[in-house]
Chains A and B, each alone.
Chain A
Amino acid sequence: MDELTLFRNTRNENRQPSEHALAAGRDALLARATAGPGLADTTVPVHEAETPGRTSLLRGSVPAPRWAAAAIAVALTVLVVWVLVPSLGLGVYASRPASIVPSPSTSAVMPPQVTRETYEAASAEFAQCMKDNGVGLGAEQMEGLIHQYTYLASQESLYLECYADFQQIEAAWQIANQYDSPTYVALRNCLTQIGVQPDADAEGVWQQVQEHNIDPAECTLGVTTPPEE
């Protein structure tokens, strides 16, 4: 077995969307289709096709992408540390995940709205689950309206177990509060770094990210793009 076969074998053909999501997606599409040709496009702009060797403005402005990304990450409550450290399994702390950059156009298929009380209660329950199993959360703080914390990388399996119940609620909450989510904070920082004043709303920020060819993955994770061969 080689490495590509290995990855192909992890393809899961059994994953299915919920009937609710399928129906909501279809309804949204039909609503768009029947709205007529004059309807403005409200979808988030998608990157046009990449061309070989394309580099982002961000990368161009930062000579050492990984180092620079790490610096950004430190400023953003160790965004990158979480990405790089947990798999080492060295017992160091990993910053928590759970940031998403949702589309402003997908509210039609969002789950029922999550109130702050619900989010806080679910968050507390998650923290309690970890604690009950002997693993406290570290470096707890709020970033905007989003809880940030760390946990021991060696406790990954416990984390995944405790986080399972919290995940849906947190995702919905972050969609509702995306402008202050860690990802959008990172995107806003990337814009600021290249001298662009971030817009006052999430959709505007995303538009600016597109316009300035900032790679969201690179911006938020420190992923670098080597030149094409």
Chain B
Amino acid sequence: MSTDNEVIERSRSEPSAFATLYDRHARSVYRYAAQRLGDHAAEDVMSETFLVAFEKRSSYDVNVRDARPWLLGIATRLIRKHARLEAVAWRGMAANLAAQIAPDFIDQAGTRIDAERLARRLAKALRRLSAADRDTLLLYAWGDLDYASIAAATAVPIGTVRSRLSRARRLLRRAAGIQTTGQETDHGRADAVSQHP
């Protein structure tokens, strides 16, 4: 099976080959967009991401085998056009977060806060993140990208990814009422390849 970079390289002389990339990654792009925007807009973003990618394929670095970070980067920039719709999706996310909050996290946040309230605080904090910090956080959490891939997707140095995630964590912890420790866990994934191709 051809790798992504091989497909893209081939598509430069054989444009229809790009459809292979679509078949391979459209669902993944959709899932990421759907979590941020909801289903309807996500279908638009999915389609448009590949149209944009197709037009930009000549600038793709063919030394990079996995095109998913590149595609999610394009999707992320397209998602910014849907800022208000995204905020609607976050409200739904609060319920999802509440279901995920483990008792030990609640303990850290303080004894009298319940999961639902904590989820609301976190969702609110997410809304207040800068666009760049939020994109970084969500590429990590929902795009399932590692630090290096996020750096590639957003075209910033990996150190910037780290500082953005660190800042997002601090804000989320503050929103949750958790004391920030001097030493924070490094969440960089060891694997360079995304986990959900």
CB within 8 Å of B: which residues of A? Answer: 1-4, 6-13, 15-18, 21-22, 24-26, 28-30, 32-34, 37, 41, 43-44, 46-52, 79, 82-84, 86-87, 89, 97-103, 105-106, 108-111, 156, 160, 167-168, 171-172, 182-183, 206, 215-218, 220-221, 223-226, 228-229
Contact = CB atoms under 8 A, between A and B. Distances in A.
Contacts of A99: 84-85
A221 B31 contact: no
Interface stretch (B1-9, B42-50, B61-69): B42-50
Given A52-B156, A87-B123, A89-B120, A25 B50 contact: yes
Contact of B84 (A33, A100, A111, A224): A100
A87 B43 contact: no
B155 interface: yes
Contact of B132 (A50, A86, A98): A50
B22 A26 contact: yes
Given A6-B122, A15-B34, A33-B19, A109 B81 contact: no
Given A3-B172, A4-B165, A171-B40, A33 B54 contact: yes
A108 B48 CA distance: 10
Interface residues of B, number: 87
B36 to A, nearest CB: 11
Interface of B: 11, 15-16, 18-19, 22-23, 26-27, 30-31, 34-35, 38-44, 46-48, 50-52, 54-55, 74, 77-78, 80-85, 87-88, 91-94, 96-97, 100-102, 104-105, 120-124, 127-134, 137-138, 140-142, 144, 154-157, 160, 163-167, 169, 172-173, 176, 178, 185, 187, 196
Contacts of B120: 87, 89
Chain B interface, >50% SS class: helix
Contacts of B185: 2
A15 B44 contact: no
6 residue pairs, one from A and one from B, having the closest CB atoms: A49-B155, A25-B47, A33-B15, A7-B141, A21-B43, A225-B130
B131 A10 contact: no
Contact of A28 (B42, B51, B176): B51
A46 B51 CA distance: 11
A216 B82 CA distance: 8
B81 A206 contact: yes
Nearest to A175: B44
